[in-house]
């Protein structure tokens, strides 16, 4: 029985900061960001968007043509949680009118949680082949103004319908894990921003890759050349390039095969880190930007979550996959974004919802299909967005200066 991805959509903020502007403001050579880190733009969330609105917008698109009643489980992977008890997926479940017979849960292990959701969903579908799982991965990467990780910030969400009728990718059974207790990146409950030992985190990422690859090879008997393309976790695109270089070197491969990863990096280069969503954003980028027909080709996947847990696994691209991509939707979304200047970015960054339990109308900015409209009695209230970004409301766009 095949199990895999039936539908995949992503969503990110309508606003971004060009990293050239950030470099100028921080008095850093812009080439350090574009060449050294391989990043061009950083997606920045406005006050009326969060992990719920991003996931709900992505899910609305992913569910087009799919009977919502067929979804019997929602898994929401995030490390930007909005509540210590209630799963963010319940708000999405409500916004999308999913069935009350559908169960919802939230998953956490840094960026690995999206991959954990995938593995759990695949086992569940093997047990209940008629059922479908909606996997949501939604995150906001925050390191702090002027912090070393600042140029690797970003945000984004992916919504993936997994089922026994895969139309994009079906996954193979060989999958190798690696877990080790390391403090490379973490965020205590009382902190808004991640604590990170940046250079150490890149070292651990590569060590985890080597361990997973060794275990995956032992399980699958496959060589690097048995894989046509690779999708890595992408905290910044240079990290994925280094990862692929490492695997090529380990496998004594002559030369570094850039074409095996370059299409997977296009979206992340323009969004920044989206933590749990980044691996799947890489997959969407690969399938939608590859000029070669990837039907029946094998993709190697590497998920890394700081702390750390990592996984190497593989999937086969389904014939006819091109008919099921959300390419036009993603292209329009990325092209219609508005650039912020550094002062506007810093105002968005500094915004905090009040914590006094009073009623507060959240200032509105251009957003996706759903917005955070109000907070009252410590409860977040969401609404359908009647000013879709496609219609670009000029007054609304200008109001970014009024925050």
- Give me the active site residues, please: 79, 111, 233
CB closer to ligand HMG out of 91 and 236: 236
CB closer to ligand HMG out of 281 and 316: 281
CB closer to ligand HMG out of 121 and 137: 137
State the nearest-atom distance from the C-beta of 304 to ligand HMG, in Å: 5
Residues that bind ligand HMG (CB under 6 A): 29, 31-32, 35-37, 79, 110-111, 148-149, 152, 185, 196, 198-199, 201-202, 205, 233, 235-236, 239, 273, 275, 304-306
State the nearest-atom distance from the C-beta of 153 to ligand HMG, in Å: 9
CB closer to ligand HMG out of 63 and 110: 110
CB closer to ligand HMG out of 16 and 185: 185
Question: Do residues 157 and 136 touch, judged by C-beta distance below 8 A?
Answer: yes
User: What's the CA gap between 31 and 29, in Å, rounded?
Assistant: 5
Give the pair of three-digit tokens for residue 6.
């039936």
State the nearest-atom distance from the C-beta of 261 to ligand HMG, in Å: 15
By Cβ distance, which residue is nearest to ligand HMG? 36
CB closer to ligand HMG out of 193 and 393: 193
State the nearest-atom distance from the C-beta of 352 to ligand HMG, in Å: 22
Secondary structure string (H, E, C) spanning the chain:
CCCEEEEEEEECCCEEEEHHHHHHHCCCCHHHHHHHCCCCEEECCCCCCCHHHHHHHHHHHHCCCCCHHHEEEEEEECCCCCCCCCCHHHHHHHHCCCCCCCEEEEECECECHHHHHHHHHHHHHHHCCCCEEEEEEEEEECCCCCCCCHHHCEEEEEEEEEECCCCCEEEEEEEEEEECCCCCEECCCCCCCCEECHHHHHHHHHHHHHHHHHHHHHHHCCCHHHCCEEEECCCCHHHHHHHHHHHHHHCCCCCCCHHHCHHHHHHHHHHCCCHHHHHHHHHHHHHHHCCCCCCCCEEEEEEEECCCEEEEEEEEECCCHHHHCCHHHHHHHHHCCEECCHHHHHHHHHCCCCCCCCCEECCCCCECCEEEEEEECCEEEEEECCCEHHHCCHHHHHHHHHC
State the nearest-atom distance from the C-beta of 278 to ligand HMG, in Å: 7
State the nearest-atom distance from the C-beta of 283 to ligand HMG, in Å: 16
């Amino acid at each position: 029985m095949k199990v895999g991805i039936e539908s995949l959509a992503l969503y990110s903020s309508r606003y971004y900061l060009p990293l050239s502007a950030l470099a100028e403001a921080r008095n850093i050579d812009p080439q350090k960001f574009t060449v050294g880190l391989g990043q061009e733009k950083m997606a920045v969330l406005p006050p009326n968007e969060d992990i719920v609105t991003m996931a709900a917008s992505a899910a609305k698109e992913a569910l087009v043509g799919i009977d919502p009643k067929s979804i019997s489980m929602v898994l929401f992977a995030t490390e930007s949680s909005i509540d210590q008890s209630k799963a963010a997926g319940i708000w999405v479940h409500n916004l999308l009118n999913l069935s009350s017979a559908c169960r919802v849960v939230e998953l956490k292990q840094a960026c690995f949680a999206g991959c954990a959701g995938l593995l759990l969903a695949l086992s569940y579908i093997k047990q209940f082949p008629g059922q479908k799982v909606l996997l949501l991965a939604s995150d906001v990467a925050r390191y702090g103004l002027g912090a070393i990780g600042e140029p690797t910030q970003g945000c984004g969400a992916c919504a993936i319908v997994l089922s026994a009728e895969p139309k994009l990718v079906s996954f193979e059974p060989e999958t190798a894990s690696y877990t080790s207790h390391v403090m490379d990146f973490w965020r205590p409950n009382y902190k808004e921003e991640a604590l990170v030992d940046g250079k150490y985190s890149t070292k651990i990422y590569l060590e985890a890759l080597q361990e997973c690859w060794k275990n995956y090879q032992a399980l699958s008997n496959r060589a690097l050349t048995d894989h046509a393309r690779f999708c890595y976790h992408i905290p910044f695109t240079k990290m994925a390039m280094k990862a692929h270089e490492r695997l090529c070197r380990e496998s004594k491969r002559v030369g570094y095969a850039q074409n095996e990863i370059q299409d997977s990096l296009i979206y992340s280069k323009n969004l920044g880190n989206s933590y749990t969503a980044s691996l799947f954003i890489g997959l969407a980028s690969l399938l939608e930007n590859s000029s070669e027909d990837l039907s029946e080709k094998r993709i190697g996947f590497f998920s890394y979550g700081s702390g750390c847990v990592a996984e190497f696994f593989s999937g086969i691209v389904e014939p006819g996959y091109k008919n099921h991509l959300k390419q036009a939707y993603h292209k329009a979304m990325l092209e219609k974004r508005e650039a912020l200047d550094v002062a506007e970015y810093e105002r968005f960054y500094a915004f905090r919802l009040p914590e006094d339990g009073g009623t507060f109308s959240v200032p509105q900015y251009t957003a996706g299909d759903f917005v955070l409209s109000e907070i009252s009695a410590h409860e977040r209230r969401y609404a359908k967005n009647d000013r879709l970004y496609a219609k670009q409301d000029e007054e609304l766009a200008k109001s970014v200066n009024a925050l």
